[in-house]
Amino acid sequence: MISPVLKVRDLCVERSGRLVVEDVSFDLNPESETAVVGPNGAGKTTLVAAVLGLLNRSSGDVEILGCPLACNGDLPPEIRSQIAYVPQSLALQGHFPLTVSEFVGFGFDSPGPRLPWRQRERRSAAVRHALERTDCNDLSYRLLSELSGGQLKRVMLSFCVVRPRRLLVLDEAQAGLDVSSNERFQHLLLELRRQEGWTVLQVSHDLDMVRRSSDQVLGLNRRVCCLGPPDHTLTQEHLTELYGPNIVPYRHHCRG
Amino acid sequence: MLLILKEPFMQRALLGGLLTGSLGGLLGSVAVLRQLSFFSDALGHSALLGITLGILLGVNPTLVLIPFAVCFALMVNQLVERSSLPTDALLNIVYSSSLAAAILALSLVETYRGGIRQLLFGDILGISNIDLIIVVVLLAIALAYLVLTMRAQVLLTLNSDLAGAVGVQTRWHRIMFIVLLAVVVAVSIKAVGVLLISAFVVIPACASRLLSRNFALYMVMSAAVGGGCALMGLLASGMTNLPSGPSVVMVQFFGFLIALFLSNHQLRKRSIARKALHQIPGAAPADH
């Protein structure tokens, strides 16, 4: 039997005295992609934050790579270094003095204090390789704050790929991207996922993309409304339950 | 001019200015990116309440100021975390109230009425050897902390969830930085004064931010600009017999104007280079 990369059981999360996520259970099998879908305010981001230990949970259990997540969100560093995360946005107001290669280098470093000149050559080589793999070599000396939305998302993937990891979590990573940038990002994500053997948990509003790329869909509206393969979950019945009666599922003819 | 440089008080003042300016610039580099500029201003203003408490209790104000500033910073941090009001409004409420309380309390203290000017604008010429040792130790701690945890500082500034997901102890680092900033503000008050302390934190960092193109250089440049401006301001103050704190801040301001001019010049040059690159077919990469 394959042990799941992520195991969530009866997870409940309260925010400001209100239950935002209630009795959520699911598994992520190795090298699979799971999409979390649901309307705004359904608790998707809260679920992801609780699973990563960024928010305290009220009850339930979370296990990452066989290791239980402590109630205060602590995980052993060797497990933590197996996790990558792509947020919706970065706080890059104005001129932010940080180059792309510096940022990707921080993805290479292990958690905890370190001298900046330690493992310098290994680090630089890893950064160069990661930037090549995400087609960002020409961006290495650019400032993060000078990049377009699509470039920034590819750089975020370089940050994730600069060292081997097992679990990648994306929180509406494609928000704000135009159609072609989104397509390029998803294509790159799929390619890297296959090469790296990542297990992916992705919060998304793009149902077409979810249908094409996910192995499992978790429909969330505080509780789990549906869980299973896209063909069984992205149905008129489930989408009506999640979003109301005006959503019509669109079926793409080919899967990426 | 050379004669005054031979005076021990002036030598201490120059060294103190260099160290305090560097310390303010170093911490300011992170504080400005993390949008804590107003926080350092609030800390500076509230420090007057700490000093007043020291006077009222009959204890050396410097001894009261450090624990007061740390407690105040932690309390404000809690308030900001728990309240749904905007941070700038909360900080404004806290610092104007503490300033008002301090002025009311100071009016009750006969002996300190004459010294209010020194509290407000600082007296770097009165810096002692013990003050210098404290600033050196603090500078060493701040430097070690920021260099060893640069990854944590940058990721926490960019996105606290990203930092937490990859193993940064976000709450610990946030509190640690605020405590360090509070201690630096408390220690620098004597030299710089309540009203001008935030300039020591904010101006060198903003000037360096305009000119730097990588993070390590930005931190070094911010500390160097802070220290260099303090040194030049003190020398100018010695030559012209003008108050030291405001002289330093004016030098910092001129430094900022130069940085602004240079950064606009750099931007123009880069824009011309980019336009030239776009005119060569196939040379410019697509921006998506």
What is the pLDDT at residue B128? 85
What is the pLDDT at residue A256? 41
What is the pLDDT at residue B282? 59
What is the pLDDT at residue A183? 86
Mean pLDDT over residues A60-75, rounded? 92
Contacts of A151 in chain B (CB under 8 A): 287-288
User: In B, what residues contact A, Cβ < 8 A?
Assistant: 33, 147-151, 154-155, 157-159, 161-162, 164-168, 208-210, 212-218, 263, 285, 287-288
What is the pLDDT at residue B211? 92
Report the C-alpha dihedral over residues A164, A169, A171, A175, rounded to 10 degrees.
Answer: 50
Q: What interface predicted TM-score (ipTM) does this complex get?
A: 0.90
3-state secondary structure of A236: helix
- Alpha-carbon gap, residue A174 to A182, rounded angstroms: 6
Interchain proximity B164–A53, CB inside 8 Å: yes
Q: How far is CA A235 from CA A206, A211, A225, in A?
A: 15, 11, 12
Domain ranges, ordered by start, for chain A: 6-34+66-233
What is the pLDDT at residue B284? 56
Q: Tell me: domain A6-34+66-233, CATH 3.40.50.300, correct?
A: yes
Q: What is the pTM of this model?
A: 0.88
Interchain proximity B216–A87, CB inside 8 Å: no
Interchain proximity B159–A91, CB inside 8 Å: yes
- Tell me the sheet residues that pair with A35: A202, A217
Question: How many C-beta neighbours within 10 Å does residue B157 have?
Answer: 23
The per-residue pLDDT string of chain B (288 residues; one tens digit each, 9 = 90 and over) reads: 667 777 888 888 899 999 999 999 999 999 999 988 888 888 888 888 888 888 888 887 777 888 999 998 899 888 888 888 888 888 888 888 988 988 888 887 766 555 667 777 777 888 888 889 999 999 999 999 999 999 999 999 999 999 999 999 999 999 999 999 999 988 888 788 887 888 999 999 999 999 998 999 999 999 999 999 999 998 898 888 888 888 899 999 999 999 999 988 887 777 777 677 666 665 555 555
Contacts of B162 in chain A (CB under 8 A): 85, 87, 90
Q: Could you tell me the pLDDT band of residue A62, with boundaries at 50, 70 and 90?
A: very high
Interchain proximity B161–A112, CB inside 8 Å: no
- Asked which of A40-44, A171-175, B206-210, B225-229 is least confident by mean pLDDT, the reply is A171-175
Choose the closest CB to B154 out of A98, A149, A180: A98
Q: How far is CA A255 from CA A190, A208, A212, in A?
A: 12, 10, 5
Choose the closest CB to B165 out of A94, A109, A169: A169
Mean pLDDT over residues A71-78, rounded? 90
What is the pLDDT at residue B265? 85
Q: Could you tell me the pLDDT band of residue A255, with boundaries at 50, 70 and 90?
A: very low
Interchain proximity B213–A99, CB inside 8 Å: yes
pLDDT in tens, A197-254: 999 999 988 888 888 888 999 999 999 999 999 888 888 888 888 887 776 666 555 4
Q: Could you tell me the pLDDT band of residue A28, with boundaries at 50, 70 and 90?
A: very high
Within the 58-117 window of chain A, which residues sit less than 8 Å (CB to CB) from chain B? Answer: 73, 75, 77, 80-81, 83-85, 87, 89-92, 94-99, 102-103, 106-107, 109-116
Strands A167-171 and A59-64: unpaired
Q: Count of CB contacts below 8 A, A vs B?
A: 95
Is A247 an interface residue toward B (CB < 8 Å)?
no
